[in-house]
Structure formats: C-alpha cells, structure tokens
Chains A and B, each alone.
Chain A
Amino acid sequence: MNIILLSIVILLAIGSLVIKKSVPAIISFILMMFVLGLYYINLDAKMLGLFQIFIYTGGIMVLMLFGVTIIGLEFPHAKSKPLNAIGAFVFFILISLLFLRGVDTLKLVANKNIEDVNLFSSAFSDYVIIFALIASSLLYATVKMSSTLKAKRSR
C-alpha cells in the first residue's frame, strides 16, 4: 500500500513539473501533498497526516492560487535544461548509494538504547562532506545575493 501511494506521489510530482498549464499543474501538486498526507496516516503518524492534509495543503493551495493570479493560465515558455536533469539524477544515484552503504549502521544505531549512542558521531560522521558542501553552497548563494543587491543599489 505504501509503495503504491509513494508511486502516485512521484508521478504527481513529475506531473506538476511537466504540465504546461498552471492550474492542472497546481492541482497535480495539491493532489501530491494530499496523497502524501494519506501516506503519513498509513504510516501511523495520523496527526502528521491530518496536519499535512488540512493545514499544509490548504495553506499552500491558497498561496498557489494567488500565484496563478499573477502568472496567468499558462506558464511562460522556457528553454529546457537537460544538464540539470542529469545532475539531479546523478545526485539521486549518489545519495541512494551512500544510503544503501550505511543502512546497516543506521539500523544498528536505531536498535541501540538512545543513552548509549553518541548520535552525532555515529549517525552523521559519514555525511560531514555533504553537510560541508551544502554549507558552502549556502555561503556562495549569500555572497552572490549580496553582490547582486549591491550592484542594484549602485545603479
């Protein structure tokens, strides 16, 4: 059941990125979040699922409809960027390999008593490089944004 729900989630997510008309894309996105809420309920996190469906999905739906009033009924035409798709796919492969390599350690950590575990060193030390990459990209984005703002101000 979970796998079916998650497959629907992925299909709807792809749909929301691919569909050219804005309203069907938003409906696809909202449905994705709704199915995700059903998945949480199926996962025994009932409160989280209900929160997802009623509050999160509702709030996002209103915000997106506000976006439609600005963008119009069709998304503007834009050139496709296949390199980004390849990059995202490579990221998926890398992160999956990394996870599958460390899944046994993760289960071992999960089975231990929480007091016995030094959570940071045993669960996160393998991912320090990824954290560093994310932190450096955030830093780059901040510097880039400040330089853009400075350029705009000096005009």
Chain B
Amino acid sequence: MFEIEILFAFGLFSLGLYGVSSGRDFLRIFFSLEMLLNAVIMLLAISAHYLGFAQNIALAYMVMILATLEAAVGLLIFAAANKIAKVVSPDELEGAKDE
C-alpha cells in the first residue's frame, strides 16, 4: 500500500518532468512545476503518515508556500516576457533573441 502510493508520487513527478522538459508554453510549464512540487509534498505526507517522520509535515507546509510563491513570480516573469517580446512560449522567446 505504502509502496504503491509512493509510486503514484513518482508518476506525478515524472509527468511534471515531462511537462517542464517539453516546455511548450509558459502556462503548461507552470502546471508542470506545480506537479513536481506537489509530488514532493505528497512524498513528505506519505512518509509522515506511514513511516512516522512527523517533522515532514512541517517541511510539506514549507514546500507548499514555496510553490505558491514560485507560481506568483513565474507568472510575473511570463507577463513581463509577454509584454516585452509578445511571446507565450519559451521557444518563441528563443527566436525573439535572434531578431
């Protein structure tokens, strides 16, 4: 049971990894980053529940706050990139550099 739940967390992490590495547009990259961090929170919660590492819940709160801040800062960067170079994906941003 415990092992299966951990494997689900790894699955979510891999999905996030795929989303970040494929990097199609900024919004999906944010989804994927949140998935990565949610997988970490999941791992912490599972280890706190099943293995008795109670201090991991405090770490989970910290990661959660970090994830929210990261999304806020990321979206600001996205808005700035959109305002300056009129792009919605990192690939376009790479093209804008050469222009």
Contact = CB atoms under 8 A, between A and B. Distances in A.
Interface string B20-59: 0110111110111011001001100111111111000100
A84 B18 contact: yes
A24 to B, nearest CB: 13
B14 A78 contact: no
Nearest to B71: A63
B8 A67 contact: no
Interface residues of B, number: 57
A10 interface: yes
Contact of A45 (B28, B48, B68, B97): B48
Given A63-B71, A91-B14, A151-B97, A9 B31 contact: no
B87 to A, nearest CB: 9
B27 A17 contact: no
Q: Is the interface of A mostly helix, strand, loop or mixed?
A: helix
A67 B46 contact: no
Nearest to A2: B5
Interface of A: 2-3, 6-7, 9-10, 13-14, 16-17, 22, 25-26, 29, 33, 36, 39-40, 43-45, 47-48, 51-52, 55-56, 59-60, 63-64, 66-68, 70-72, 75-76, 78, 80-81, 84-85, 87-89, 91-92, 95-96, 99-100, 103, 106-107, 110, 148, 151-152
